[in-house]
Amino acid sequence: MKQKRAFKYRVYPTPEQQQMLAQTFGCCRFVYNWALRKKTDAYYKDHQRLYYKDLSILLTDLKQQEDMHWLNAVSSVPLQQALRHLDKAFLNFFEGRAKYPTFHKKRNQQSATYTSNAFTWRTGTLTLAKMREPLDIRWSRPLPKDAIPSSVTISKDCANRYFISILVEDDIAHLPVIEQAIGADLGLKSFVALSTGEIVGNPKFFHKDEKKLAKAQRRHAKKKKGSKNRDKARLKVARIHARIADRRRDFLQKLSTRLIRENQVVCVESLAVKNMVKNGSLAKAISDVGWSEFVAQLEYKADWYGRALVKIDKWYPSSKRCFDCGHILDSLTLDVRQWDCPECGVHHDRDINAANNILAVGLTVNACGEAVRPGAVKTKPGTSRRSRKA
C-alpha cells in the first residue's frame, strides 16, 4: 500500500548555506507571525475571516513594498508554505486538536518547507532553491528505491543542529498475520508491564540529567543579557535538552516497533495525560515518561504493518479487578504494588494483573467491535488520522 512517509537525516550545511538558511528561517517566521496577526485582527476588529487565498494575495502586495524588499532574497515557496502551516494550525485549533496558534520565536526551533518546484533532486543529491551546492546529508538509512521526494523540510533545533525531512511515497508491506496478542499497562515505576509477564523499566532520562540541567540553567541565568557568554550558556542548556529528547525518542521507537512486530493485537489504556499532569507531585515524572508519544507511535505503526491497536476505556478498573475471579476491590492506593484477592485468594502483581485485564477487555473489543465501557477505541489498519491523510 502506497503511503506518504518522511525520512529524517542530519545535515551539515556550509557557512554560505547556513547564511541562506538563516535568512529563509527569518523570513518564514516573519510571514507566519504577520499572517497570524492579520487573521486575528481581521476577526476581532472587522469580523472577517481570512483564509490561505486571501493571505497569499496580501503577501504578494507586502513583498512589493519598498521596506519589505528583503523578503525577495529567499525562495517564495517556503513563504507560501508558512501560510499553509498557519492554515493547518487553525484547522487543528477549530477541530480541538491544538490550542490557538501562537507567534514563532527566534530562539525556538526553526524550519522551512520546500515543495518539488523549489529543489533539485539528482542521484541522491539535494540542492535547495537559491543555493549553489547540494546539501551535505548523512544518509543514515537508504530511501526507498526509485523514490522521488514530493517535499523536503529543513529545520534547525535549539542546539544548532540541522536536519532534513524528506517526504516520499513508500510501499509499506503488511507483516504476516500471527496469533500473538498482548496487553500493556503503562506506569511510572516500570514504563510498561506486559501480559506475558515482561516488565520494561522506566529509563527516567530527564531524572538522570536533571542535576546537570539545573546547573547549566543556573549558569545561564547569571550571564549578562545580550552577551556572547549568555549565548554559549544557552547552547549548553539546549544540548542537554536535546540529549534527553533524543534518548527518549530512541527508546520509544525501538520498543513500539518490537511490540508491533511481535504481536497482531496490542491493547493499551487510553490515558488522559493532559489531566494527569495537573497533579503537582507526579507532573514531572509523567512528562518524562512519554506515554502519549508511545501510544501515537503504536497507532501509526499498527496502520503501516497491518496490526490492530485497541485502546480500552480509561475508567476500566484494570488494577483493582482480579483477573482470575473478576472481583473488584473498593480501593487500591498507588503505594500497593501487590495484593491478594479477598474472594479467591490469588496473589497478584498490580501491573501484571492490570496488563492481563487490559488484554482480556481489548480482545473482547477487537472481536465484538463494541466498547465494554463508553470510550473504548479500536484502531484497524488504515483508519487513523495519519493514514486517512496519506
Residues known to be catalytic: 185, 269, 351
C-alpha cell at 161: 543542529
Question: Would you say 377 and 311 are in contact if contact means Cβ atoms under 8 Å apart?
Answer: yes
C-alpha cell at 371: 466498547
Question: Would you say 55 and 38 are in contact if contact means Cβ atoms under 8 Å apart?
Answer: yes
Question: Would you say 142 and 134 are in contact if contact means Cβ atoms under 8 Å apart?
Answer: no
N residues, the chain? 390
Q: What is the DSSP string of 326-389?
A: --B-S---TT--EEE-TTT--EEEHHHHHHHHHHHHHHHHHHH---SSTT-EEE-TT-SHHHHH
Q: What are the backbone angles phi and psi of residue 80, rounded to the nearest 5°?
A: -65, -35
Q: What is the DSSP string of 249-315?
A: HHHHHHHHHHHHHH-SEEEEE---HHHHTT-TTTHHHHHHHTHHHHHHHHHHHHHHHT-EEEEE-TT
Question: Would you say 140 and 8 are in contact if contact means Cβ atoms under 8 Å apart?
Answer: no
From the list 357, 352, 363, 369, the residue with the least C-alpha distance to 326 is 357
For the chain, the straight-line distance linking the first and the last C-alpha, in angstroms and rounded, comes to 11
